[in-house]
Amino acid sequence: MVAQHDYAHQLLAVFRTEFNREPELLVRGPGRINLLGEHTDYNGGLVLPASIDKEIIFAIARRDDQTCRIVAENVNQSFTFGLDQLNHSPLGWPNYLMGVVDELQKARLQPGGFELVFGGNIPAGAGLSSSAALECGLAFALNKLYDLGLSTLDMVKLGQRAENQFVGVNCGIMDQFASMFGRNQSVIQLDCKSLHHEYFPFQTINYVLILCDTGVKHSLGDSEYNTRRSECETGVGILQQYDPTIRLLRDASTDLVDAHRDEMPGKVYQRCRYVTQEIQRVREACEFLLRNDLTAFGQKMYETHAGLQHEYEVSCPELDFLVDQTRQDDTVLGARMMGGGFGGCTINIVQREAADAFVERMSAAYQQAFNIELKCYPVRITDGTSGISI
Ligand code: GAF
């Protein structure tokens, strides 16, 4: 993969060829990782994501009519739509962009047409939120170009609504928030109920974050995601009978969930218990970050994985295998599955000098067990969505 600076030049060249002019603006929209706090966002709980150096770059300029012409450089596809003709596209990627335009229009903001070339280095299907990067990057660009007056938080919420409503994926707010609000060398502790957020230092001088991509995406992922959401809502409904102030699972403690175990279907109890414990884990893990104790932090990652595997049941054999491989490895501080589950990546904190050996070992073991080539991505925590100059 070419360096991003070179890649931005490449996009510029495509823009000039395609549209015979210069772009007015270059924007980078990063993907995200999540260190802890999985499946807590839609329960109003705490998450701990960060934006990373896997990103989408946008070269964009206004048009003085209602036409939007877009080129997706990575896949060598183009798509044109009118601002008053937002019809779902079987190509997939245009829907994230049209979703943003749709939400702007619903908010009675009127961007004009535009010409756009975008592309980047976020691996497809790895669960690094290329969708949030697309939504946030376009919202940021149109907000700037058309002076729409949206705040950063407005753009986060707009991106999430685009995904929920136009794309039809019922995600929480974590991915868009991380893509927009990321900060270099920090993780964001986001309270998904109040949307209050705080940055915690994540210094990785001696360590490197490595994502191991299973290369699988089991098809039951989407339906199980929705099932988990409704199991959590069922749990809230039961707890509410005893404490009407409980609106979301984040309002309940693990003790309260335990106290009402007998009133809950077994699976609902398991889900509620995991979520309340996971929220508490994020709180404790942030204390470790303040002390720069990545060893203790890493143990929390293993606890999260166990919860996701056995109680929330969103892992899969490939993810469990990759996490198990690290358990006896004293160059790894922590590992767990990351994101919605049923495939995608594990996230690992690995000693920097042992990183190459780690990748070699993991790749060989995975190849032997599943006959799939393991892709590993070392990632750096960066700032969130912003304009760039080259
Ligand atoms: C997916 C969703 F998009 C997020 O909102 C979040 O719920 C995550 O799964 C699980 O933590 O990435």
- Residues in contact with ligand 1 by the CB-under-6-Å rule are 38-39, 41-42, 171-172, 174-175, 339-340
Q: Is residue 350 part of a domain?
A: no
Domain with 168 in it? 1-201
Write the CB contacts of 190 (distance below 8 Å, at least 6 apart in sequence).
41, 46, 47, 48, 49, 173, 174, 177, 178, 181, 196, 197
Q: Is residue 310 part of a domain?
A: no
Q: What is the pLDDT of residue 1?
A: 43
Q: What is the pLDDT of residue 125?
A: 87
Q: Is residue 18 part of a domain?
A: yes
Q: Is residue 123 part of a domain?
A: yes
ipTM rounded to 2 decimals: 0.99
Q: Read off the pLDDT of each residue in 183-196 and give the average, rounded to a whole number.
A: 98
Q: Is residue 29 part of a domain?
A: yes
What is the overall mean pLDDT for the chain? 96
Q: Is residue 146 part of a domain?
A: yes
Q: What is the pLDDT of residue 182?
A: 98
The 10s digit of each residue's pLDDT in 108-145 is 998 999 999 999 999 988 999 999 999 999 999 999 99
The 10s digit of each residue's pLDDT in 304-361 is 999 999 999 999 999 999 999 999 999 999 999 999 999 999 999 999 999 999 999 9
DSSP 66-104: SEEEEEETTTTEEEEEETT-----TTSHHHHHHHHHHHH
Q: How many domains does the structure of the chain reveal?
A: 1
Q: Is residue 122 part of a domain?
A: yes
Give the pairing type, strands 386-387 and 25-34. antiparallel
Q: What is the pLDDT of residue 219?
A: 78
The 10s digit of each residue's pLDDT in 269-308 is 999 999 999 999 999 999 999 999 999 999 999 999 999 9
Has residue 2 got a pLDDT over 60? Answer: no
Q: Is residue 107 part of a domain?
A: yes
**Candidates 36, 41, 161: which one to mutate for ligand 1, based on the most atoms within 8 Å of Cβ?**
41
CATH number at residue 154: 3.30.230.10
Q: Distance between CA atoms of 103 and 251, rounded to whole angstroms?
A: 30
First to last CA, the chain: 18
**Eight-class DSSP state of 291:** T
Has residue 225 got a pLDDT over 60? Answer: yes
Residue 220 Cα to ligand 1 midpoint, Å, equals: 15
Tokens of 128: 């690094």
pTM to 2 decimals? 0.96
Residue nearest to atom 1 of ligand 1 (CA): 340
